[in-house]
């Protein structure tokens, strides 16, 4: 599996995909958080915290992660290389997990430079160093688990079609439904308590700095469910 993960990472950096994903993610967040005036601007908010970043990041990743995963298996199927991989002594599960962890590595690499935001808000605090450690750490953990779930959905969507654009749109739609769709339904039907099935509910819970195993298990369950669905779909085809 390690060899497959390395192969996937090398293929990302051999093309403009990795540089575009990292660059676009940092550019969009940087502009909204530090340049553009509005609700997300940290300097205008007057509070030394990263709440704006953790509100914005899930929406940016909702588009960027499908862009990373859209070619994961759809391209292999189109080029006929998936059958070639299966002739080797590698299980289908290993192939899927190799693609999955390769995509996660790239997204985590894009998140790494945002740790500099912590240094910035620490200096902006009054007095300097006055920032909410628990909430920030919890939000980063929640964002990491959100990446796991988004990536699993994206890998699954890449098995639905040989067309990368179709895979991208399918992944964005599924990520949107699981992140915000249940929350929207909860607002329409408050007595049904449908929000608990959505990622936003559990992400917001972790972002408060309280690590509840139920929230983490939810993200892991979604990730495992879509990875199993991916393997099942490939076997069926």
Write out the DSSP string of 112-172: GGGGHHHHHHHHHSSSTT---HHHHHHHHHHHHHHHHHHHHHHHHHTTS-S-HHHHHHHHH
**In percent, how much of the chain has pLDDT > 70?**
97
**Angle at the Cα of 24 (from 166 to 53), degrees rounded to 5?**
105
Mean per-residue pLDDT, 198-221: 90
User: What is the pLDDT at residue 126?
Assistant: 73
Shortest CA distance to 100 belongs to which of 152, 39, 36? Answer: 152
User: What is the pLDDT at residue 230?
Assistant: 94
User: What is the pLDDT at residue 88?
Assistant: 72
User: What is the pLDDT at residue 131?
Assistant: 78
User: What is the pLDDT at residue 172?
Assistant: 97
Whether the ω angle into residue 145 lies within 30 degrees of 0, i.e. cis, is no
User: What is the pLDDT at residue 236?
Assistant: 79
What pTM value is reported for the model?
Answer: 0.92
Mean pLDDT score of the chain: 88
Mean per-residue pLDDT, 210-222: 91
Alpha carbons within 13 A on the beta-carbon side of 171: 35
Q: Which of 57-66, 164-173, 188-197, 220-229 has the lowest mean pLDDT?
A: 188-197
Question: How many other C-beta atoms lie within 10 A of the C-beta of residue 221?
Answer: 11
């Amino acid at each position: 599996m390690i060899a497959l993960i390395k192969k996937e990472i090398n293929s990302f950096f051999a093309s403009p995909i990795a540089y575009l994903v990292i660059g676009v993610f940092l550019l969009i967040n940087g502009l909204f958080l530090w340049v553009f005036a509005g609700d997300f601007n940290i300097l205008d908010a007057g509070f030394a915290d990263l709440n704006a970043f953790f509100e914005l990041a899930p929406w940016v990743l909702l588009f960027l992660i499908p862009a990373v995963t859209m070619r994961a298996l759809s391209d292999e199927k189109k080029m006929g290389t998936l059958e070639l991989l299966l002739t080797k002594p590698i299980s289908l599960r290993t192939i899927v997990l190799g693609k999955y962890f390769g995509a996660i590595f790239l997204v985590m690499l894009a998140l790494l430079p945002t740790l500099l935001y912590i240094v910035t808000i620490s200096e902006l605090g009054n007095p300097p160093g006055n920032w909410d450690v628990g909430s920030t750490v919890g939000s980063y953990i929640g964002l990491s688990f959100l990446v796991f779930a988004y990536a699993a959905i994206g890998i699954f969507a890449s098995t639905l079609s040989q067309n990368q654009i179709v895979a991208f749109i399918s992944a964005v739609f599924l990520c949107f439904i699981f992140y915000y769709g249940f929350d929207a339904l909860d607002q329409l039907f408050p007595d049904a308590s449908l929000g608990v099935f959505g990622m936003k509910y559990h992400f917001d819970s972790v972002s408060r700095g309280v690590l509840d195993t139920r929230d983490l298990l939810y993200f892991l369950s979604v990730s495992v469910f879509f990875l199993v669905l991916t393997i099942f779909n490939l076997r069926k085809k």
